[in-house]
Amino acid sequence: MKFAVIVFPGSNCDVDMYHAVKDELGEQVDLVWHDADNLDEYDGILLPGGFSYGDYLRSGAIAHMSNVMAAVKRAAEAGKPILGVCNGFQILLESGLLPGAMLRNKNLKFICRTVELSVENNETMFTSLYDKGEKISVPVAHGEGNYYCDEATLAKLKENNQIAFTYASDVNGSLSDIAGITNEKGNVLGMMPHPERAVDELLGSADGLKLFQSIVKHWRNSHVVNA
């Protein structure tokens, strides 16, 4: 399986993501600059964390207008797995690929620590190797991770099982403790916690690795004969 890690000016988790895929997951991966307009050769798209365009205007607001996002939208429509982490999640929200928006953390502080997540939905291409309700340890590092949407959208997220991860206890004030959501089709996941920083016990946790392995498993099942 071949992944693209999209790099925007100001991305800073791109190399962590690259390392997670190449060395820990053992799959092919390229760093792809934000002006690319064709992602056809990639089977999965990863939008890393960071501060694209210095978070000017709003987190992810400028990045979502960049060239590559048109190609990301086409990949999403084609059903390819798209994962946005942290700033990558914010970019997916700004681009409309996922519903809702991010507000400043409730306590106004940048929160950087390992938190406990609950796997709400393990029937997605990103979470199939977890158990439902499984508790996993994954780091967060954000100032604007306070997920917000209107009531109708929240009801829809719940009804369609689009909430993939929640915080086991309140971290940043997010509605319903939402840490990660998918689109309706289930092939786009945005999450504030960093699974790419939890792919080896040496990093303090390897709980994030199963997320990447789930993507590969899904891809093999649908693309490789006799998988």
C-beta closer to other proteins: residue 123 or 150:
150
Task: Write out the catalytic residue numbers.
Answer: 86, 194, 196
Contact 54, 10 (CB under 8 A): yes
C-beta closer to other proteins: residue 29 or 72:
72
Binding residues (CB under 8 A) for other proteins: these are: 57-58, 61, 65, 93-94, 99-101, 103-108, 146, 148-150, 173
CB of 184 to other proteins, least distance (A): 17
The β-bridge relationship of strands 135-142 and 111-119 is: antiparallel
3-state secondary structure of 23: helix
CB of 101 to other proteins, least distance (A): 4
Backbone region of residue 167 per phi and psi (left: phi > 0; alpha: psi in -120 to 50; beta: other values): beta
C-beta closer to other proteins: residue 69 or 119:
69
Amino acid at site 41: E
C-beta closer to other proteins: residue 65 or 78:
65
CA–CA dist 225, 227 (Å, integer): 5
CA angle, 205 as apex, 8 and 137 as ends, to 5°?
85
CB of 104 to other proteins, least distance (A): 6
CB of 148 to other proteins, least distance (A): 6
CA–CA dist 181, 212 (Å, integer): 16
